[in-house]
Structure 1
Amino acid sequence: MKNLRIAGVSLLALSLLSACVMTQPGTAQQGPGKVKNLILMIGDGMGPQQVGLLEEYARRAPHSRYQGSATAISTFASAGITGFSLHGPYDALVVDSACSATQLATGLPSRSEMIGLDAEGNPAKTLLERAKAMGKSTGLVSDTRMTHATPAAFIAHQAHRSMENEIAEQMVMSNQADVLMSGGVGYFLPADAAQRHDPILQRIRNAGISTKSKRDDNKHLLQEAENLGYQFAFNRDELISNSPNKLIGLFASSAMQDGITYHGRDANINEPSLRDMTVKALEILSRDPNGFFLMIEGGQIDWAGHNNDAGMMLHEMLKFDEAIQAVYDWVRYRNDTLVVITADHETGGFGFSYSRKDVAPPSTLPGSAFEDKAFYPNFNFGDLSVLDKLYAQKKNFYGIWREAHGSNDFPTVESLMQAVNANTEFPINEADAKRVLEREANEYQIDGHKTLSGDAFPKVYDFKEFYVYGDDVHQNLIGRVQGKYQNIVWSTGTHTHTPVPVIAWGPMRAASQFRGINTHVELGSRMAALLEGTTK
Structure 2
Amino acid sequence: MKPRVRWLSLLAAASISLPLAIPSPARSFDSQYVNRREAKNIIFMVPDGMGLADVTAARIYKNGIDGPLLHFETLEHIGYQRTYSGNSTITDSASAASAWACGEKFNNGEICFHGDGRPNPASILELAKGMGMATGLVATSTITHATPAAFGAHVANRSCETEIARQYIETTRPDVLLGGGLSKFQPAKADPCGSSGDLIPRAMKAGYTIVRTKAELDAAVSDSACKLLGLFAMKGMTPDRLRTPGTSEPRLSEMTAAALGLLEKRRIGFFLMVEGSQVDWGNHANNVQYQVGETLAFDEAVKTVLDWIDASPERREHTLLIVSPDHETGGFAVNGPADRLLRPGEYVTAGWTTGGHTGSDVPVWGQGPGSSEVGRALNNTDLFRIMRNALER
Give the TM-score normalised by structure 1.
0.63
Give the match's secondary structure for 1:242: helix
Matched with 1:326 is 304
Higher-Rg member (1/2): 1
Query: Are 2:120 and 1:123 aligned?
Result: yes
Give the C-alpha shift of residue 296 in structure 1. 0.3
Matched with 1:451 is none
Deviations 1:105-130 (A, max 9, x none): 01111111100124745422101100
Cα distance between partner residues in 1 of 2:342 and 2:372 = 39
Paired residue for 1:522, among 367, 382, 385?
382
Paired residue for 1:106, among 91, 102, 105?
102
Whether contact under 8 Å (1:109, 1:119) holds in the other structure is: no
Give the C-alpha shift of residue 487 in structure 1. 2.8
Give the C-alpha shift of residue 224 in structure 1. 0.7
Structure 1 pair 120–525 and aligned structure 2 pair: CA distance change class (3 A) = farther
Unaligned runs of 5+ in 1: 1-23, 63-67, 193-212, 355-379, 391-485
AA aligned opposite 1:388: G
AA aligned opposite 2:378: N
Structure 1 pair 521–120 and aligned structure 2 pair: CA distance change class (3 A) = farther
Matched with 2:12 is none
Deviations 1:420-465 (A, max 9, x none): xxxxxxxxxxxxxxxxxxxxxxxxxxxxxxxxxxxxxxxxxxxxxx
Give the C-alpha shift of residue 513 in structure 1. 1.1
Unaligned runs of 5+ in 2: 1-25
Give the C-alpha shift of residue 490 in structure 1. 0.3
Query: Are 2:145 and 1:163 aligned?
Result: no
Give the C-alpha shift of residue 335 in structure 1. 0.4
Matched with 2:332 is 350
Structure 1 pair 155–317 and aligned structure 2 pair: CA distance change class (3 A) = same
Give the match's secondary structure for 1:277: helix
Q: Comparing both structures, which one devotes a greater share of its residues to helix? A: 1
Structure 1 pair 350–191 and aligned structure 2 pair: CA distance change class (3 A) = closer
Deviations 1:338-359 (A, max 9, x none): 00001100000011125xxxxx
AA aligned opposite 1:516: R
AA aligned opposite 1:71: L
Cα distance between partner residues in 1 of 2:105 and 2:115 = 6
Structure 1 pair 217–527 and aligned structure 2 pair: CA distance change class (3 A) = closer
Q: CA RMSD in A?
A: 2.3
Whether contact under 8 Å (2:159, 2:191) holds in the other structure is: no
Structure 1 pair 274–501 and aligned structure 2 pair: CA distance change class (3 A) = same
Cα distance between partner residues in 2 of 1:82 and 1:135 = 30
Sequence identity percentage? 35
Whether contact under 8 Å (1:103, 1:521) holds in the other structure is: yes
Query: Are 2:77 and 1:81 aligned?
Result: yes
Number of aligned positions between the proteins: 357
Structure 1 pair 515–253 and aligned structure 2 pair: CA distance change class (3 A) = same
Whether contact under 8 Å (2:209, 2:220) holds in the other structure is: no
Paired residue for 1:27, among 26, 29, 46?
29
Whether contact under 8 Å (1:118, 1:124) holds in the other structure is: no
Give the C-alpha shift of residue 58 in structure 1. 2.9
Whether contact under 8 Å (1:29, 1:335) holds in the other structure is: no
Matched with 1:310 is 288
Q: Comparing both structures, which one devotes a greater share of its residues to strand? A: 2
AA aligned opposite 1:521: T
Matched with 1:16 is none
Whether contact under 8 Å (2:41, 2:318) holds in the other structure is: yes
Give the match's secondary structure for 1:147: coil
Which of the pair has the greater relative contact order for Cα pairs under 8 Å at 6+ separation?
2
AA aligned opposite 1:73: F
Cα distance between partner residues in 2 of 1:386 and 1:49 = 17
Whether contact under 8 Å (1:42, 1:298) holds in the other structure is: yes
Cα distance between partner residues in 2 of 1:40 and 1:495 = 22
Give the match's secondary structure for 2:321: strand
Give the C-alpha shift of residue 529 in structure 1. 2.2
Indicate the larger mover: 112-121 or 85-94.
112-121
Whether contact under 8 Å (1:191, 1:217) holds in the other structure is: no
Runs of 4+ in 1 over 4 A off after TM superposition: 213-218, 382-387
Indicate the larger mover: 335-344 or 325-334.
325-334
Query: Are 2:62 and 1:41 aligned?
Result: no
Query: Are 2:383 and 1:512 aligned?
Result: no
Cα distance between partner residues in 1 of 2:214 and 2:89 = 41
Query: Are 2:351 and 1:489 aligned?
Result: yes
Deviations 1:26-85 (A, max 9, x none): 4255234411110000110011111111222233169xxxxx654211222xxx111101
Query: Are 2:381 and 1:531 aligned?
Result: no
Cα distance between partner residues in 2 of 1:28 and 1:497 = 35
Matched with 1:429 is none
Query: Are 2:273 and 1:259 aligned?
Result: no
AA aligned opposite 1:95: T
Deviations 1:189-219 (A, max 9, x none): 2649xxxxxxxxxxxxxxxxxxxx9898762
Cα distance between partner residues in 2 of 1:29 and 1:272 = 36
**Aligned residue runs from structure 1 range 384-399, under 5 A:** 384-385=341-342, 388-390=345-347
Whether contact under 8 Å (1:29, 1:505) holds in the other structure is: no
Cα distance between partner residues in 2 of 1:290 and 1:521 = 26
Whether contact under 8 Å (1:189, 1:214) holds in the other structure is: no
Deviations 1:460-497 (A, max 9, x none): xxxxxxxxxxxxxxxxxxxxxxxxxx632100111111
Paired residue for 2:318, among 336, 342, 354?
336
Matched with 1:219 is 197
**Aligned residue runs from structure 1 range 33-432, under 5 A:** 33-60=37-64, 70-76=69-75, 80-118=76-114, 120-121=116-117, 122-189=119-186, 191=188, 219-243=197-221, 244-262=225-243, 265-266=244-245, 268-332=246-310, 333=313, 334-354=316-336, 381=338, 383-385=340-342, 388-390=345-347
Whether contact under 8 Å (2:60, 2:346) holds in the other structure is: no
Give the C-alpha shift of residue 531 in structure 1. 1.9
Whether contact under 8 Å (1:186, 1:214) holds in the other structure is: no
Deviations 1:362-398 (A, max 9, x none): xxxxxxxxxxxxxxxxxx61544586344xxxxxxxx
